Amino acid sequence: MLFQFDRWVNKRVALASILVIHIALSLICAHFRSLNLDEKTYFEYTVRCLKGHPERVRILDDSKTILVFPALIPRMISQIFHPGLTKNDGGIADILHGRYTILVYSVLLLLFLWLSLKKLDLPYAMLVFPLAAINPMIVNYATFINSDMAVGLFTLLLFYYGWQFFSTKKTRYLVYLSIVCGLGFVCKFSFIPVLMAFFIGGVFLFFTSFRSRSSLLFGIRSLAVVFVISVLVINLCYPTDKRFVSLRNMELKSEKFKALSQSFVGAFPLPVPQNMVQAADQLSYHSQPNLPIGDITFEGRVWLLGGLHTTPLWFYYWVLLGIKTPIFLLLLMIIGAAAAIFSYRKYPFIFLATVVALFYCAYSGYINFFQIGDRHLLAIYPLLFVVAGFAMYKLSEWLSIRQVVAFYCMGFIWLLISEGYYFPHFMPYTNEFITDKKTAHWTANVGVTDYCQSVDFAEDFIKNNPGYKKPFGDTSHNGKYAICVFRLFYDAYFGKDPKSLELWNRRPTRIERFVVLIFDEDK
């Protein structure tokens, strides 16, 4: 039975059916999610880019990209049919409509995950594909207007086309790979550790292949092609921006870039759009300590495992991977990673996928100052599904067919119950390592369990239940309160509000949508 299901998932009709389920789940989840400030700033920056103004002039422009342009397609179509169309809602309707078209990134990600698992050509590997289509993180961020899903797509494309190029040596795959490198760089700088990991893993795996002079020259030529095409793609993404501007001729804000501009490097014209350098400069500046209040985009502290920590925190992404991934899937990922390490010569590209994922979590843990959410894991999450598919194959070698069927069926049912308990509120999903969902925010909160997805619901709850109020500034001894995890955390630790701090350390009476904390009268 399981073998037949594995073969069915290999078919295009299965791909289409599973994609339809994914799209339906994503749209339902989007309906229950409030508009997020990040969505608004991504949308607004892309509008400015399309109007020919990609300059990073606002405080939150640092991580934005033109590659969320699919979210603008509904407004573009409306404008074509109604040239004089104007709206006065601050872009809210356009952003909400844009959630439908930004789905293209998750659909493409799942398509290439299906192709990658198919290319493995290993029994039972395809069984993880349905798990990806209903995964809370992938479903939730599928309709979220930001760049993290796109980074995951480009990581998977890099893996897929790199594998195709190594297998066939066909030039077209090298060109595709090069285009992906350029797009990934434009999308988000978190793609840089992905590139680093692919390079390091590739050198380790294929070093012996370049011992001959001809092979070495082939490798150098290939890298040169990747560099040239990538730079060309980066420039084409921002056609109206200035380029070939040196650091000394730019207005810089961060100490690191100012120092760099005074070195010999600062005199060289840079062959990339000026706004890309501005983005890197802004990110560097925003990671500096003791900034003016108006320049702070992130306080540099996160709550994790019951305490407030200063970033970067080396175990941040390992913890998030451990609590945000369904346990059955996490178990498959661990088994697959261990098996890939011990069989790297026989399955080099599974090993490479493992190396990229492990390197990304380790590197970002030590280097990334902006540790503000589980969405960063999307950069390597697709590769972990490939690794999980490899695990299913290895289990079929180690266990009897009856045992494999029992393991998968029980694990799949467990996964469905775990995820179904949260549906359609997938943003705050945590697995069974956190047993008390009322206090999940004590393990991790901002950007992990709460990304401002239920702000509207919290406001409506207080309006519809006038006996409840917000705790900030309240000096009464007794009271009934309703507040989002995100707001309570900031009021308690950055607003220094005594009542908020008191409630933060108190177990809520109940929780709505897994993120709105309800406190009844003090006992």
Helix (H) or strand (E) holding 308: strand 307-310
Burial of 40 (0-12, 13-18, 19+ CB in 10 A): middle
Q: Find the mean pLDDT for residues 323-347.
A: 95
Residue 429 within a domain: no
Residues 413 and 442 in one domain: no
Report yes or no: 67 and 186 within 8 Å, Cβ to Cβ.
yes
* Neighbouring C-beta atoms of residue 317, cutoff 10 Å: 23
Would residue 220 count as lying in a domain?
A: yes
311, 365: one domain = yes
Mean pLDDT of 174-196: 96
Minimum mean pLDDT range among 6-15, 289-298, 441-450: 289-298
Count of domains in the chain? 2
pLDDT greater at residue 475 or residue 455: 455
Name which of 207, 197, 193 is nearest 352 in CA terms. 197
Q: 364 and 394: one domain?
A: yes
Residues 11, 157, single domain; the answer is yes
Domain that holds residue 198: 2-71+97-237+298-420
Residues 6+ apart with CB under 8 A from 17: none
Residues 394 and 448 in one domain: no
Is there a domain that residue 512 lies in?
Answer: yes
Question: Measured between alpha carbons, how far is 427 from 65 in angstroms, rounded to an integer?
Answer: 23
Residue finishing a domain among 369, 387, 420: 420
pLDDT value, residue 522: 58
Q: How far apart are CA 453 and CA 446, in angstroms?
A: 11
The mean of the pLDDT values for the chain is: 92
Q: Are residues 499 and 447 in the same domain?
A: yes
Burial class (CB in 10 A: 0-12, 13-18, 19+), 301: middle
The answer on 500 and 366 residing in a single domain is: no
d(CA 429, CA 421): 9
Q: What is the mean pLDDT of residues 185-200?
A: 94
Residue 449 lies in a domain: yes
Give φ, ψ of 326 to 5 degrees: -50, 140
- Overall average pLDDT of the 237-251 stretch: 93
Claim to verify: residue 485 and residue 379 sit in the same structural domain: no
Q: Where does a domain end: 420, 448, 470? A: 420
Residue type, 244: F
- Are residue 388 and residue 441 in the same domain, yes or no? no
Within a domain: 48: yes
**Alpha-carbon distance 370 to 63, whole Å?**
11
- Confidence band for 330, pLDDT divided at 50, 70 and 90: very high
Q: Which class for 218: exposed (0-12), middle (13-18), buried (19 or more C-beta within 10 A)?
A: middle
> Is residue 267, in this structure, part of any structural domain at all?
no
* Together in a domain, 405 and 487: no
| Rounded mean pLDDT, 331-343 | 96
Q: Could you tell me the CA-to-CA distances from 214 to 101, 220, 327 in Å, in that order?
A: 46, 10, 47
Whether residue 312 sits in one domain with residue 413: yes
Find tokens 């050198």 and name the residue. 203
Does 371 lie in the same domain as 326?
yes
Above pLDDT 90, what percent of the chain? Answer: 72
Is 81 part of any domain? Answer: no
